[in-house]
Structure 1
Amino acid sequence: MAGAHAQRASGAPVRYARRVHPAPWSFSWEPLFLALSLAAGFAYAQVARRAHPSTPRALVFGLGLALVVAALCSPLETIARHYLLLFHLLGNVMIADWAPPLLILGLTPSMRAALARRGGRVLARVARPWVSLPVWLAVWYLIHLPAFYDYALRHTWALNAEHALLIAAGLLFWWTVFGSVLSTPSALAYLGVAFVSSIFLGLAFIFSSTPFYDFYEHAPRLWGLSPAKDQNLGGILMNAEQTVVFLSALAYFLVRLLNEEELQHAAEARKAEAGR
């Protein structure tokens, strides 16, 4: 302890006490998110008796829940919490970028309408793009600040808060997209701004030769990955998955926009022909 105080006083980096690390392929469990996932699945099954979602839609919702559980209750979480930033970033994108849109797409229109009614004015206000987009970006960047990230890795409650913030911000962001909040052109603009605004974190990870996080700099290494290479690969993963997710969503709304224009032109043509 005296040595640590001396290091702090001299400005040298503090090396934390050696900890016993679990085997990389052992399971980690986050009971809170496992319980919430089970509760969400049970609630969906109950509502499905009345809403009658199609099998593909129900499978999409189930896949969203499975991604949350796989990210936080598996060896992936063990490696993320004790060994590699790459796996931590993978878990984060699974719960922030992959699971939320699937969970919302897994809801039938009547389910989404019921949620909108229950959310009332609060949900209507926070789901506005000028609120949901800044909130999503703020969460995305702030939780990856070294001070918070290192603290969360050493304190379970803060790590749970990190995961909860990512899931909540992701659900809010994608609710704005798929919850009938935006017109198709507005959705395209919203997604484009979000994509461009979110890539800088991944770029910082890719091009930095200095590890950002003290925790991973001193963590045991796997597969010969140095802390810097671990961070670079994490940035590549982050930017690659965001490119796939956002370009897929943009392509969907672009096709929808073209279809809407064709339907509008066809309706105008029929109206003009009827007026002759």
Structure 2
Amino acid sequence: MKRAGAILGLALLPLGWAAAAGGGMTGHMVGHMLAVAVAAPLLAWGLIDGPLDLARRAPRLARPMPAMVVELAVVWGWHLPAARALADAGGVALVVEQAMFLAAGLLLWASVLGTGPERRASGVGALLLTSMHMTLLGALIGLAPRPLYAHGDHALADQQLGGVVMLMVGAASYFLGGLAMLATLLRQRGATA
């Protein structure tokens, strides 16, 4: 089952990259959300206990709260208007952006899904905080009164839809992941009590 998750995560990446390469702000958000909120958790889950299990191979690197801060910096950094314009121009900047989204998402999810109850407890916090910052950024993008990233007849509508995609997929993925981990922890503690 885990292997199938990793394969599905890998299969979704090209779809997201294609959307990001040619779909305006909405396409960018579809690519971004597929990378960090769908493919990354599937890949991290599929790699648990294998030779590429980041939490086991690099336990000092794969810590939930520092990984959350890295993910926050990557996501917010690439949504600054100048960085967004650079990636929208395509080429190397778009590849670097998408690679950073995937790497940050994979680091966070691998850290959160790592072994041990203490890691899972901080993982709940990391996922819920990520949900909060994704919600805030999605709302800022979606509710902005003017286009922040592009110009043209439909730039504001495209930006608003992109913000909705971030709210619906990103915030929900991290929030539901955090709640699922919390439920697991509470069940485990109840079973040992």
Same fold, judged at TM 0.5 (above): yes
* Kept in 2: contact 1:112–1:179 (CA 8 A): no
Partner of 2:12: 67
Give the CA deviation at 1:174: 0.7
- What secondary structure does 2:60 align onto? helix
RMSD, matched Cα: 2.0
State yes or no: 1:244 paired with 2:160: no
Question: Which residue identity does 1:61 align to in structure 2?
Answer: A
State yes or no: 1:143 paired with 2:78: yes
Give 1:98's match in structure 2, choosing from 38, 44, 53: 38
Task: Give the Cα–Cα distance (whole angstroms) in 2 for the partners of residues 242 and 77 of structure 1.
Answer: 15
Give the CA deviation at 1:230: 1.0
Task: Give the Cα–Cα distance (whole angstroms) in 2 for the partners of residues 78 and 173 of structure 1.
Answer: 24
* Kept in 2: contact 1:63–1:102 (CA 8 A): yes
Task: Give the Cα–Cα distance (whole angstroms) in 1 for the partners of residues 102 and 186 of structure 2.
Answer: 32
Give the CA deviation at 1:112: 5.2
Give the CA deviation at 1:96: 1.7
State yes or no: 1:133 paired with 2:61: no
- The two structures have a TM-score, normalised by structure 1, of 0.64
Q: What is the percentage of aligned positions where both structures have the same residue?
A: 29
Question: Which residue identity does 1:159 align to in structure 2?
Answer: L
Gaps of 5+ in 1: 1-55, 266-276
Give the CA deviation at 1:188: 1.7
Give the CA deviation at 1:239: 0.7
Task: Give the Cα–Cα distance (whole angstroms) in 1 for the partners of residues 131 and 94 of structure 2.
Answer: 25
- What secondary structure does 1:109 align onto? coil
Q: Deviations over 1:208-260 (max 9, x none)?
A: 121111xx314xx6xxxx21111111111101112321232123212212221
Q: Deviations over 1:8-59 (max 9, x none)?
A: xxxxxxxxxxxxxxxxxxxxxxxxxxxxxxxxxxxxxxxxxxxxxxxx2221
Partner of 1:196: 132
* Kept in 1: contact 2:71–2:108 (CA 8 A): yes
Give the CA deviation at 1:101: 0.6
- The two structures have a TM-score, normalised by structure 2, of 0.89
- Following TM superposition, where does structure 1 have runs of at least 4 consecutive aligned residues deviating by more than 6 angstroms? none
- What secondary structure does 2:30 align onto? helix
Partner of 1:256: 184
Partner of 1:23: none
- What secondary structure does 1:126 align onto? coil
* Kept in 2: contact 1:184–1:256 (CA 8 A): no
Question: Which residue identity does 1:208 align to in structure 2?
Answer: A
Task: Give the Cα–Cα distance (whole angstroms) in 2 for the partners of residues 177 and 152 of structure 1.
Answer: 29
Give the CA deviation at 1:262: 2.2
Task: Give the Cα–Cα distance (whole angstroms) in 2 for the partners of residues 196 and 78 of structure 1.
Answer: 27
Gaps of 5+ in 2: none
Alignment: residue pair count = 192
Question: Which structure has the larger Rg over C-alpha atoms?
Answer: 1
- What secondary structure does 2:176 align onto? helix
